[in-house]
Amino acid sequence: MHQVTVGIGPLTRDEIVAVARNGAAVALSAEAEAEICRSRTVVEALAADAEPHYGVSTGFGALATRHIPVELRGDLQRSLVRSHAAGSGPEVEREVVRALMLLRLRTLATGRTGVRLETARAYAAVLGAGITPMVREYGSLGCSGDLAPLAQCALAVMGEGRVRDARGVPRPAAEALAVAGIEPIVLAEKEGLALINGTDGMLGMLVLACHDLRRVLRAADVAAAMSVEALLGTDAVFAADLQALHPHPGQADAAANLRALLAGSAIMDSHRGPECTRVQDAYSLRCAPQVHGAARDTVEHAELVASRELASAIDNPVITPDGRVESNGNFHGAPLGYVLDFLAIAAADVASISERRADRFLDVARSHGLPAFLADDPGVDSGHMIAQYTAAAIVSELKRLATPASVDSIPSSAMQEDHVSMGWSAGRELRRAVDGLTRVVAIELLTAARGLDLRRPLAPAPATAAVRDGLRAAVAGPGPDRHLDPEIDAAVAYVASGGAVAAAESVTGPLR
């Protein structure tokens, strides 16, 4: 996808990922341009009105009672952006900034904000040129939207502040715009407010997280299947009729994946029949579909919320389709904050059950015949002992990140904004949680692959064998202790890139 057209309707998840992560260019549709021009006439009529109108001829927030004379209204908009570009801390990732700018442009394209056409086109041009404003980690309370991050983007389009160019080199915004042939915008009535009053940062982080979680949860099914197999577990509990007694759709999908991944396993066949004395497995093996499935259903709910937000036009005040200018509270990020927190909880729990499965491989009392810590020469070698420490440390961190940010409202703006969503903070935590989950699943996969190798001459299922073999292209099989950092990194890349799932699907067909 080389270019995404922004119209008056919602963008898709794939379009957002294409622009945010893959650098696709952006263009406005003719319908969007017409709607932008139509609503701008409303703002210009209000600007000439003797009556004060919020965002057009008044101050903002707790200062909204001051009527601003015509000759100061350009200063008002520029001062708004400059004063609100007050972030601090590390730079926010390029993909988050691009998602934020794209989603703000999408709201501008609805015609509900009253900006000029040249302002919307400037946002499209900056995205197309690969220019990324330097947005800082801290500054948004999630109400009135993501003010500081959006203001830092607006400041750059004004030709102020600093950006990274298409090569990632930091430079002054004015210089980067000039090189790209983009004229800095000079804000007119209401435009500063329209550019900063949105929930676009938290929404962008939600869309990207849902995209990544879909892939990681399938990889978690792959790792779980390898663990069940290498730990001589049973697949009987994954039977469709048993799963149907608890009819959650995510659980059904996870169980179906486990059945497909374990089909044809000689390791599984080796301990079937009446001579097998094991009645049931530990919860981390037996309940994988229930936990992975609940996480899937949480993603499904989060994507429903995201779809509603993507169909929204967030601004205050807003230009209604019949030409009214109305104040509102749609910028409050509560719907986003809740599901961002909910996903962080799900990520922490899936990581927790994954780490417990990996840990079982290392204990001779629970691994059913595997060497201690999967070591080549236990005592001389430590095997995967400390890989489990790493997974445990990450899981502990994810539990802390799962503490909901959305319940931690803190008042601001002289108590005018006395209840806020903290949705931006929830999004920042979720990004770290998705990364941590990916790493824990990768460590389980790395450990389970070694367990499968140690079951030789018994052969794993064709699907799990394909996953193991794909990993072996970068990570050697069992042997004396080696430097584990590079092997963990290779496994993380294998999971994060979708390579592990693709290897499994080369046998099973598409996983659910």
Contacts of 241 (CB under 8 A, 6+ apart): none
Last residue of one domain, picked from the residues 147, 173, 198: 198
Task: Judge if the upstream peptide bond of residue 317 is cis by omega within 30 degrees of 0.
Answer: yes
* Token pair belonging to 300: 């499904």
- Note whether 95 and 221 are same-domain residues: no
How much is the pLDDT for 74? 79
Q: Which residues of 10-47 are buried (b: 16+ CB within 10 A; e: fewer)?
A: bbebebbbbbbbebbbbbbeeebbebbeebbebbeebb
Does residue 138 belong to any structural domain of this protein?
yes
Does residue 235 belong to any structural domain of this protein?
yes
DSSP secondary structure letter of residue 185: P
Does residue 329 belong to any structural domain of this protein?
no
Three-state secondary structure readout of 435-464: HHHHHHHHHHHHHHHHHHHCCCCCCCCHHH
Active-site residue (options: 54, 123, 338, 494): 54
The answer to whether 10 and 313 are in contact (CB under 8 A) is no
- The question of whether 54 is a catalytic residue gets the answer yes
How much is the pLDDT for 60? 66
Q: Are strands 25-28 and 3-6 parallel, antiparallel or unpaired?
A: parallel
Per-residue model confidence as pLDDT tens digits over 122-139: 999 999 999 999 999 999
How much is the pLDDT for 61? 65
Digitized pLDDT (tens) for each residue of the chain, 512 residues in all = 799 999 999 999 999 999 999 999 999 999 999 999 999 999 988 887 777 777 777 776 667 777 778 778 778 889 999 999 999 999 999 999 999 999 999 999 999 999 999 999 999 999 999 999 999 999 999 887 899 999 999 999 999 999 999 999 999 999 999 999 999 999 999 999 999 999 999 999 999 999 999 999 999 999 999 999 999 999 999 999 999 999 999 999 999 999 999 999 999 999 987 766 666 899 999 999 999 999 999 999 999 999 999 999 999 889 999 988 888 988 999 999 999 999 999 999 999 999 999 999 999 999 999 999 999 999 999 999 999 999 999 999 999 999 999 999 888 877 778 888 899 999 999 999 999 999 999 999 999 999 999 999 999 999 999 999 999 999 999 999 999 999 999 999 999 999 999 999 999 999 99
CA–CA distances in Å: residue 48 to residues 42, 51, 413: 10, 9, 29
- Note whether 38 and 92 are same-domain residues: yes
- Note whether 355 and 480 are same-domain residues: yes
Q: How many whole angstroms separate alpha carbon 255 and alpha carbon 269? A: 19
- Note whether 139 and 210 are same-domain residues: no
**What are the φ/ψ torsions at residue 32 (nearest 5 degrees)?**
-65, -45
Q: Nearest CA to 211 among 96, 313, 335?
A: 96
State the residue range of the domain holding 74: 3-198
Last residue of one domain, picked from the residues 162, 178, 198: 198
How much is the pLDDT for 48? 75
Does residue 341 belong to any structural domain of this protein?
no
Does residue 327 belong to any structural domain of this protein?
no
- Note whether 174 and 307 are same-domain residues: no
The answer to whether 388 and 443 are in contact (CB under 8 A) is yes
- Note whether 275 and 158 are same-domain residues: no
Contacts of 460 (CB under 8 A, 6+ apart): 226, 229, 230, 265, 266, 267, 452, 468
Q: Nearest CA to 238 among 220, 214, 221?
A: 221
Neighbours of 400 (CB within 10 A): 11
Which amino acid, one-letter code, is at 478?
P
Instruction: Sort 229 into a burial class: Cβ within 10 Å, 0-12 / 13-18 / 19+.
Output: buried
Q: Match 């981390």 to its residue by tokens.
A: 284
- Note whether 439 and 391 are same-domain residues: yes
DSSP run (H or E) holding 466 = helix 462-472
Q: How many whole angstroms separate alpha carbon 46 and alpha carbon 375? A: 75
The answer to whether 133 and 156 are in contact (CB under 8 A) is yes
* Number of domains forming the structure of the chain: 2
- Note whether 298 and 379 are same-domain residues: yes
- Note whether 222 and 170 are same-domain residues: no
Q: How many whole angstroms separate alpha carbon 327 and alpha carbon 54? A: 8
- Note whether 40 and 156 are same-domain residues: yes
Neighbours of 466 (CB within 10 A): 21
The separation between CA 53 and the C-alpha centre of its own chain, rounded to angstroms, equals: 37
∠ at Cα 61 (58, 64), nearest 5°?
Answer: 30
Angle of helix 200-230 relative to helix 13-20, nearest 10 degrees, comes to 100
- Note whether 288 and 354 are same-domain residues: yes
Does residue 287 belong to any structural domain of this protein?
yes
- Note whether 148 and 233 are same-domain residues: no
How much is the pLDDT for 277? 66
The answer to whether 35 and 320 are in contact (CB under 8 A) is no
Q: How many whole angstroms separate alpha carbon 347 and alpha carbon 292? A: 9
The answer to whether 316 and 197 are in contact (CB under 8 A) is yes
Last residue of one domain, picked from the residues 164, 198, 232: 198
Does residue 169 belong to any structural domain of this protein?
yes
The separation between CA 13 and the C-alpha centre of its own chain, rounded to angstroms, equals: 11
CATH code of residue 481: 1.20.200.10
Q: How many whole angstroms separate alpha carbon 494 and alpha carbon 19? A: 23
How much is the pLDDT for 46? 83
Neighbours of 165 (CB within 10 A): 16
Does residue 318 belong to any structural domain of this protein?
no
CATH code of residue 17: 1.10.275.10
**What are the φ/ψ torsions at residue 5 (nearest 5 degrees)?**
-95, 125
